[in-house]
Structure 1
Amino acid sequence: MRAFWIVVFCLAAVLVPAPTATADVLPTDSNIRYFGRWNTSSSTAFVSEWAGAYVLVGFTGTTVKLRQRNSIDLFASIDGGPDVSYRNVSGTVNLTPTPLAAGTHTLRVSYRPVAGSYRGDAVFQGVILDPGARTVVPQTPSRIIEFIGDSITVGQLSSKQALTAYGWLTGERLRTGHTQIAVGGACLYPAADGCIGMSQRFLKTGLAATAPDWDFSRYQASAVVINLGTNDVGHGVTGAQFQSAYIALLRNVRAKYPNANIFALQTFRKRYIAETQAAVAAVGDARVRFVNTDGWINEATDTVDNVHPNDTGHRKIADRLVPLLS
């Protein structure tokens, strides 16, 4: 009898299937789509520093987990649903505690902008899928709009920062790809006191002056919206310096995006208006346009602090931009 049980036990041990490994997807997966500027120098960790960068992952199966390096705040949307906030997360982040229906799904992830007093690890290290699941190419728009600016373009002080800023809202309404090449406190002119000068920093992959140059062959913007000049006054930038820097930026944008329509917004605080208009005139480009923003928002009701638009203010700006860009 004892020999019989030994035989049965051995057969059972042989017949029990080994657990199937989950599908570990690296950032280099050819089906993943990136919007905005990502530093891809490391094959295991893609880094975004400018506001409004995001990643799209199409996948099969019923669950998806995000692999993060160190702590960061992020937003994740599955199948076009609400952008869910994940605060101070790191390691393996389970985005589907309740499994999805079997089928094909899309994940969008955007990180909180790394700027000012906030420091986070905006690093995408890939996803973990169900055993046997795979990535698929997500549906992606054919057009990309780029928004260049400072904290207003970042969406600072709005409820979801970049995701509730006018650039993101405009792109979503037009169903285009979009990204905000913006950072809080930025100037147009590289001021002597160290204020970031976007006329030069526009050419970079990240925020630092030492960041690698961006490879503009990775995408071509069909339209570029510039909103700069709010901060330069506080850094002693003269009108002549501002105008010269604006001309340089417009020429840089045109050189990198030969077919884009370029919109130079009048700052909502009405700073350097004449210089902005003069810069547009100086480049002599029929597809570069100065945009008068008088009456777009009310500082008393549509801003948080008379400078930064609240959610309502950003929606009002998007209401004006959508018909211009469509």
Structure 2
Amino acid sequence: MFCSTLILSALAIINYAQAARLVGRVNPSTSELTWPSTGVSFSFSGTSASISITHWGENSVSFSIDGGNWTVISNVTGTSITIPSVTPGNHTVVLRKRSEANQGSVFIGKVIANGTLGLDIVPPKRQIEFIGDSITVGYGLDGVLPCTNTAALEDNPKTYAALAADALGADYSVVAWSGKGLTRNYWGGVADDAVLMPELYSRYGANDADNSYTFPTSWDPSAIIINLGTNDFSYTATPPRAPLNATVFTNAMITFIQGIQKHYPDAWYFLMNSPMLSDGYPTAEDAQKTTQTSALKSVITQLNSTKIQLVDWPSQGSDVGCDYHPNAATHAAEGVVLAAAIKAALRW
């Protein structure tokens, strides 16, 4: 009896492992969804399914059944996420986190089906990694200025990153955190926590220790997109902060890319400038947009590689989300531009 129980338990674990896959950068030892876009995918035969969870903070997720439209859960509550009833048969489900790590996180437990769990959804062979700040998070994307950002208004599946990956039929991972920079973080008149994006990039889960990411062999992106600099270059006259030395930014970006290249030597690298920077703010003399763009071009020149290029994101218009962040339309337009650049470079 004892032996039979062990065998049945083992089979249950095997079946679960076959049926569900964590997507995005998720530490398998915790199954904690921290980074935006992290989630779980699975297949089942039946009429409904549920995912057992625990969580802290405020979290927003969305899920898609059989590749259909995304259903939004603006505020995750309770101990499970229920996939609603569907017609009897074979179905696939993909759930991804809309909000970011500093809002909260969700721990994934067992997936249960009203029927039987199937084999895991075969992931796309194409893989893309995105590294960024609030723009890549989708901060305030679903809001209309004036508004206060919340987990419910963050919408990673609508970002340029997710849209470009979807257009290319690629799996994707997002490592992004609002307010973070390459050399310095957002300036709001108070000292920040000094944890910069290169340190966060070294973490498996966003709340894990530095250098905890193991670079698993199952994740080998062909394209890596870096959208950093908005917070490095941003400053205001009141409260004062000195403008950034562009050379400092260039050197830091080179060091950051070279560190990533040790793990992904064959990948293409796409550097994006910021739609939130302009040459007219805070003054025309500052020319923040041109300064950042020139710094990125200098990175490309100094790295002297055929597999690195700039993808321009024009300064945004007056229709914006919370705290002047890009709205859904602005993200959608740039998603098309980025997808075209990746497609041409990688011949996808």
Q: TM-score, normalised by structure 1?
A: 0.81
Give the conservation status (yes or no) of the 8 Å contact 1:263–1:288: yes
Distance 1:127 1:105, change over 3 A: same
- Matched residue type, 2:98: R
Deviates more, 1:252-261 or 1:210-219: 210-219
Find the counterpart in structure 2 of residue 223 from structure 1: 223
Matched positions, count = 293
Give the partner amino acid of 1:79: D
Equivalent in the alignment of 2:201: 202
- Confirm whether residue 112 of structure 1 aligns to residue 98 of structure 2: yes
Distance 1:27 1:68 in 2: 19
Could you tell me how far 1:138 is from its partner in structure 2? 1.2
Distance between the aligned counterparts of 1:209 and 1:48, measured in 2? 12
Match of 1:40 in 2: 28
> What aligned pairs does 1:77-156 form with structure 2 within 5 A after superposition?
77-86=64-73, 87-96=75-84, 99-116=85-102, 118=103, 120-131=104-115, 133-156=116-139
Task: Indicate conservation of the 8 Å contact 1:58/1:135, yes or no.
Answer: yes
- Displacement of 1:196 after TM fit? 3.4
Counterpart CA distance in 2 for 1:74 and 1:24 is 27
Shift of 1:273: 2.2
Q: Cα 1:243–1:180, aligned 2, differ >3 Å: closer, same or farther?
A: same
One-letter amino acid of the structure 2 residue matched with residue 242 of structure 1? F
Q: Distance in 2 between matches of 1:67 and 1:265?
A: 38
1:94–1:306 Cα change, 3 Å: closer
The answer (yes or no) to whether the contact 2:34–2:207 under 8 Å persists in 1 is no
Distance change in 2, residues 1:92/1:292 (3 Å): closer
**Distance of 1:107 and 1:35 partners within structure 2:** 12
Q: After superposition, where does 1:1-326 map in structure 2 within 5 Å? A: 29-42=17-30, 46-70=31-55, 72-86=59-73, 87-96=75-84, 99-116=85-102, 118=103, 120-131=104-115, 133-159=116-142, 161-189=155-183, 193-208=192-207, 210-216=209-215, 217-233=217-233, 234=235, 237-268=244-275, 269=277, 270=289, 271-293=291-313, 296=314, 298-301=316-319, 303-304=320-321, 307-326=324-343
1:305 Cα deviation after fit: 5.6
**Aligned mates of 1:238, 1:206 — CA distance in 2:** 31
**Distance apart, 1:166 and its partner CA:** 0.6
Contact 2:159–2:328 (CA under 8 A) maintained in structure 1: yes
Range with bigger deviation, 266-275 or 27-36? 27-36
**How many Å separate the matches in 1 of 2:338 and 2:184?**
28
Residue 210 of structure 1, CA deviation: 2.4
Q: 1:300/1:85 Cα in 2 relative to 1: closer, same or farther (>3 Å)?
A: same
What's the secondary structure of 1:76's corresponding residue? strand
8 Å Cα contact 1:277/1:290 also seen in 2: yes
Q: Superposition RMSD on alpha carbons, in Å?
A: 2.5
Residues 53 and 109 of structure 2 are in contact (CA less than 8 Å); yes or no, is this contact kept in structure 1? yes
Query: What's the offset of the Cα at 1:157?
Result: 1.0
Whole-Å separation in 2 of the counterparts to 1:212 and 1:218: 18
Structure 1 unmatched ranges of 5 or more: 1-22
What is the distance in 2 between the residues matched to 1:238 and 1:195?
18
TM-score w.r.t. structure 2 length?
0.76
The 1:274–1:306 alpha-carbon spacing in structure 2 relative to 1, beyond 3 Å, is farther
Cα separation, 2, equivalents of 1:41 and 1:63 = 27
Gapped regions of structure 2 (runs ≥ 5)? 1-10, 143-153, 186-190, 236-240, 278-288, 344-348
1:28, distance to aligned residue in structure 2 (A) = 6.1
Q: Which amino acid aligns with 2:224?
A: V
Q: Which has the larger radius of gyration?
A: 1
SS of the residue corresponding to residue 105 of structure 1 reads strand
Q: In the TM superposition, what is the alpha-carbon distance from 1:307 to its structure 2 partner?
A: 3.9
